[in-house]
C-alpha cells in the first residue's frame, strides 16, 4: 500500500496536491503601518487598512522522499504570492505556485465548453422533471447547448431549466491556494517556516494627554491600535507592530481575484407594445449586490486599567529592529478577522509641558489684511522627549487627544497628530485657535528701490502680539519667506531660525501686548 502511494506521489500531477498542510502549527504576525500620517479612523469598519503584515508560520510536514506537492491551507487570503518564502526545508524547492482560478457559475461553464452536461427541466405546473444529455457549445455570457445535434439556448424559453455538471473542471478551486513542489532526500517529519506578506493590516499609535490641575504637567498614555481587516484569523499568535517608515513597492499587492460571470443573455424577449429602449433604461441595468457588511469591528481594550502601579499593567514591550522600533504585545493573542485591538504602549505621569502661542505670517500676502485686523493665535502644547522631562521614549506617529481636568469634569481641549518623535526631540501638539491671545499684523509701507542693478520690493511690517490672559504667555511669531526669496533686512528685535523660519520668541506679560517691527525684501 505504501509503495503504491509513493508511486502515486511520484507521478507528475497538475493541480492535485498530494500533501495538504491544513493549518499552521504556530504563527506570528508583524504589522507595518501604511504611513507616518497615521489613520485616526482605523477603528471604523468602513475604512481600509493599507498597511502590510509579515505572517510567519511554522508548519510540521510529513514528507515522502522524492518529490511532493504541498498545499498550504489557511494562509491569509490577502497574501502577496511573490513574497512567500519557505525556509528550513532540508531539500529543494522546485517551484511555488499560487492558483486562484476559482469555482463559480461562470468559470464552471467557461471551463466545461465542449463537455457534456445534463439539462434538467422542471414542469412548472406538474413538477415533472425531465433530464437530457447536452453538450455545452458556448458560454458563460449566454449559454448554448447542443442536444442531439440541435441547438438550444439556456434560460431563454421562460421554462424552468438548469444545468447539472457531473464533475468539477480541473484547476478550479474553492479558494486561492498556495502550494510548493519540493524534493527531499529522506522521508520524515520536517518543521518548515513559511512566511509571506499580506495586505489588509494597519496600526497607529494613539495618545491621550491629561492635563493635570496644576496646569503645568500632564499624564501621557499611549496606545497601539492595530487592525486586521481581512478575513483570516490568527490564533494564539505573538503580534508585533513596527514603527518607522519602510519603503514599499506598488507591485507588492494581493491578487485581485476575479471570476467569469454567468449571465443569461438571450435574444430579445419580444413584447407587442412599444417599450424597448426606454423601458430598458428605467429598469435597473443589473442588480448590484452590495458587499456583505463586515462584522462590527470588535474593539478589544486589553490592559485598560491605568493605575499608578504600573507593574500591574500589561504594557507592550519595545525593542529595535534594524532602524525601526518594534513593539511586541505582552501576550499571545487571537488576532481575529475584521478586528481592531488596542494595547497600552506608554504611560508617563507628571510630564512637564509648555503652552506656546504661535502665528505664521504668509509672505507678501498682506493685501487681504484689514488695518485693524486681529487674528487669534494658535495654541501649541510642547513637551520634550527627554527622560529628565518625564518622557524619553521613542514616540511613534499618531493621534494625540488632549483632555483637561476642570473640577470633577474632564474637558476635551483638542486633538492633532504627531509624526515619529525620536528621543531628544520636542513633541509639538497644535491644539487650535486661542481665545485670549491674538496677533495683529499691519503693513505700514510698501516701496521699491534698486541696489547694484537689482531692483527690490520692500515692505515695512508692524505686528502687535496681544495677551488678554491674566498670566504671562510665550509667543512664537514666524514669518514665511517664500523659500528664501524674502529676506528680513531690518528688525526691532533679533529673530532666530526655528522650525526653518525666522521666528521672534516673545514673552508677553499678563493683559499686555508687545510690538515687533521688521522690513521684508524681495528681489523683483
Partner 1 sequence: MIKAQLTRIGCQVTTFSVACIMASSAFGGDASKLSLTIYNNDLALIQEMRPLDLNAGRNKLEFKDVSASIRPETVSLTAPGIGIVEQNFDFDLLTPEKLMEKAVGHQVQIVRINPGNGAQVTETATVLSVNNGVVLKIGDRIEVLRADNVPTRVIFDKVPENLRAHPTLSVTVDADKAGHRDATLSYLSTGLSWKADYVALFDEKAHKLDLQGWITLTNTSGTTFSNATTQLVAGDVNTLENPVQSQWQPNARPARTSSFNESGGSTATNRPLADFYVYPLKETTTVADKQTKQVGFLDVTGVAANKVYQYFAAWFQSIDPPAHAEVVVQFKNSVTGGLGTQLPAGVTRVYVKDIDGIPKFVGENRIEHTPQGSEVSVKIGEAFDITVQPTLIAQERVTFFRSRYQMEYLIRNAKKEAATVLIKQCGLWRDGKVIKESQKSTALDARTLQWSIAVPAEGETKLSFTVESGW
- Please list every residue from 443 through 472 that binds partner 1, using CB under 8 A: 452-454
Question: Interface residues for partner 1 in 30-59 (CB under 8 A)?
Answer: 30, 32, 54, 56
Residues 6+ apart with CB under 8 A from 452: none
CB atoms within 10 A of CB 421: 19
Residues 6+ apart with CB under 8 A from 6: 64, 66
Of the candidates 367, 520, 518, 521, the one whose C-alpha atom is nearest the C-alpha of residue 456 is: 521
Angle at 281 between CA 280 and CA 285, to 5 degrees: 80
Of the candidates 477, 479, 218, 165, the one whose C-alpha atom is nearest the C-alpha of residue 351 is: 218
Should residue 326 be labelled a site residue for partner 1 when binding is judged by CB under 8 A? yes
String of DSSP letters for 58-106: EEEEEE-SEEEEEEETT--TTB-GGG-EEES-SEEEEEEEEE--B--HH
Instruction: Report strand pairing: 496-498 vs 501-508.
Output: antiparallel
Should residue 99 be labelled a site residue for partner 1 when binding is judged by CB under 8 A? yes
Window 56-75: contact mask with partner 1 (x via CB under 8 A): x-------------------
Question: Interface residues for partner 1 in 338-377 (CB under 8 A)?
Answer: none
Smallest separation, CB 519 to partner 1 (Å): 15
Task: Pick the closer one to partner 1 by CB: 9 or 324.
Answer: 324
Q: Using CA of residue 438, residue 444, residue 446, residue 447, what is the dihedral sign?
A: negative
Should residue 101 be labelled a site residue for partner 1 when binding is judged by CB under 8 A? yes
Question: Interface residues for partner 1 in 262-291 (CB under 8 A)?
Answer: 265-272, 276-277
Which of 10, 19, 77, 100 is the binder for partner 1 (CB under 8 A)? Answer: 100
Q: Taking contact as CB under 8 A, which single stretch among the options 237-245, 303-311, 367-375, 405-413 is the one that binds partner 1?
A: 237-245
User: Strand, coil or helix: what is 277?
Assistant: helix
Task: Pick the closer one to partner 1 by CB: 196 or 353.
Answer: 196
CB atoms within 10 A of CB 195: 17
Q: Taking contact as CB under 8 A, which single stretch among the options 210-218, 309-317, 459-467, 481-489 is the one that binds partner 1?
A: 481-489
Should residue 195 be labelled a site residue for partner 1 when binding is judged by CB under 8 A? yes
Tell me the C-alpha distance between 203 and 50, whole Å.
9
Should residue 523 be labelled a site residue for partner 1 when binding is judged by CB under 8 A? yes
Should residue 313 be labelled a site residue for partner 1 when binding is judged by CB under 8 A? no
Should residue 153 be labelled a site residue for partner 1 when binding is judged by CB under 8 A? yes
Smallest separation, CB 370 to partner 1 (Å): 29
Question: Interface residues for partner 1 in 413-442 (CB under 8 A)?
Answer: 419-420, 422-425, 428
Smallest separation, CB 352 to partner 1 (Å): 20
Q: For the chain, how far is it from start to end, CA to CA, in angstroms?
A: 93
Should residue 252 be labelled a site residue for partner 1 when binding is judged by CB under 8 A? yes
Of the candidates 472, 467, 475, the one whose C-alpha atom is nearest the C-alpha of residue 506 is: 475
Q: Taking contact as CB under 8 A, which single stretch among the options 223-231, 238-246, 300-308, 431-439 is the one that binds partner 1?
A: 238-246
Smallest separation, CB 208 to partner 1 (Å): 21
Tell me the C-alpha distance between 445 and 327, whole Å.
56
Of the candidates 57, 95, 88, 94, the one whose C-alpha atom is nearest the C-alpha of residue 73 is: 57
Task: Pick the closer one to partner 1 by CB: 178 or 220.
Answer: 178
Amino acid at each position: 500500500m505504501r509503495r503504491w502511494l509513493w508511486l502515486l506521489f511520484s507521478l507528475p500531477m497538475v493541480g492535485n496536491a498530494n500533501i495538504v498542510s491544513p493549518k499552521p502549527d504556530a504563527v506570528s504576525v508583524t504589522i507595518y503601518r501604511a504611513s507616518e500620517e497615521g489613520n485616526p479612523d482605523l477603528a471604523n469598519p468602513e475604512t481600509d487598512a493599507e498597511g502590510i503584515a509579515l505572517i510567519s508560520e511554522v508548519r510540521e510536514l510529513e514528507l515522502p522522499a522524492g518529490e511532493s506537492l504541498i498545499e498550504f491551507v489557511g494562509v491569509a487570503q490577502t497574501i502577496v504570492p511573490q513574497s512567500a518564502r519557505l525556509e528550513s526545508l532540508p531539500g529543494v524547492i522546485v517551484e511555488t505556485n499560487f492558483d486562484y482560478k476559482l469555482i463559480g457559475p461562470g468559470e464552471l461553464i467557461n471551463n466545461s465548453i465542449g463537455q457534456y452536461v445534463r439539462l434538467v427541466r422542471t414542469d412548472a405546473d406538474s413538477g415533472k422533471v425531465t433530464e437530457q444529455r447536452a453538450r455545452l457549445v458556448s458560454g458563460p455570457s449566454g449559454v448554448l447547448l447542443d442536444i442531439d445535434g440541435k441547438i438550444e439556448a439556456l434560460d431563454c424559453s421562460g421554462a424552468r431549466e438548469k444545468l447539472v455538471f457531473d464533475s468539477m473542471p480541473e484547476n478550479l478551486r474553492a479558494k486561492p491556494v498556495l502550494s510548493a513542489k519540493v524534493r527531499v532526500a529522506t522521508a520524515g517529519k520536517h518543521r518548515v517556516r513559511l512566511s509571506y506578506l499580506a495586505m489588509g493590516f494597519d496600526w497607529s499609535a494613539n495618545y491621550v494627554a491629561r492635563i493635570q490641575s496644576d496646569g503645568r504637567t500632564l499624564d501621557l498614555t499611549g496606545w497601539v491600535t492595530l487592525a486586521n481587516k481581512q478575513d483570516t484569523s490568527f490564533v494564539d499568535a505573538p503580534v508585533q507592530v513596527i514603527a518607522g517608515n519602510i519603503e514599499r513597492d506598488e507591485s507588492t499587492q494581493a491578487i485581485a481575484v476575479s471570476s467569469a460571470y454567468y449571465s443569461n443573455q438571450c435574444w430579445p424577449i419580444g413584447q407587442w407594445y412599444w417599450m424597448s429602449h426606454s423601458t430598458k433604461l428605467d429598469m435597473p441595468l443589473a442588480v448590484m449586490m452590495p458587499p456583505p457588511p463586515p462584522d462590527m469591528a470588535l474593539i478589544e481594550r486589553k490592559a485598560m486599567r491605568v493605575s499608578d502601579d504600573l507593574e500591574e499593567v500589561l504594557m507592550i514591550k519595545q525593542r529595535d529592529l534594524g532602524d525601526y522600533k518594534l513593539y511586541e504585545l505582552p501576550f499571545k493573542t487571537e488576532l481575529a478577522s475584521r478586528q481592531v485591538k488596542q494595547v497600552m504602549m506608554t504611560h508617563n505621569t507628571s510630564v512637564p509641558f509648555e503652552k506656546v502661542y504661535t502665528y505664521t505670517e504668509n509672505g507678501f500676502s498682506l493685501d487681504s489684511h484689514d488695518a485693524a485686523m486681529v487674528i487669534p493665535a494658535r495654541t501649541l502644547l510642547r513637551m520634550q522627549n527627554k527622560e529628565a522631562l518625564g518622557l524619553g521614549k521613542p514616540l511613534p506617529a499618531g493621534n494625540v487627544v488632549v483632555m483637561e481636568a476642570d473640577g470633577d469634569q474632564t474637558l476635551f481641549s483638542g486633538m492633532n497628530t504627531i509624526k515619529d518623535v525620536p528621543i531628544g526631540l520636542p513633541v509639538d501638539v497644535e491644539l487650535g485657535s486661542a481665545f485670549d491671545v491674538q496677533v495683529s499684523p499691519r503693513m505700514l509701507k510698501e516701496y521699491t528701490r534698486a541696489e547694484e542693478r537689482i531692483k527690490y520690493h520692500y515692505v515695512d511690517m508692524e505686528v502687535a502680539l496681544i495677551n488678554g490672559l491674566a498670566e504671562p504667555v510665550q509667543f512664537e511669531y514666524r514669518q514665511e519667506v517664500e523659500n528664501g526669496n524674502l529676506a528680513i533686512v531690518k528688525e526691532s528685535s533679533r529673530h532666530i531660525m526655528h522650525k526653518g523660519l525666522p521666528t521672534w520668541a516673545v514673552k508677553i506679560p499678563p493683559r499686555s501686548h508687545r510690538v515687533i517691527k521688521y522690513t521684508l525684501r524681495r528681489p523683483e
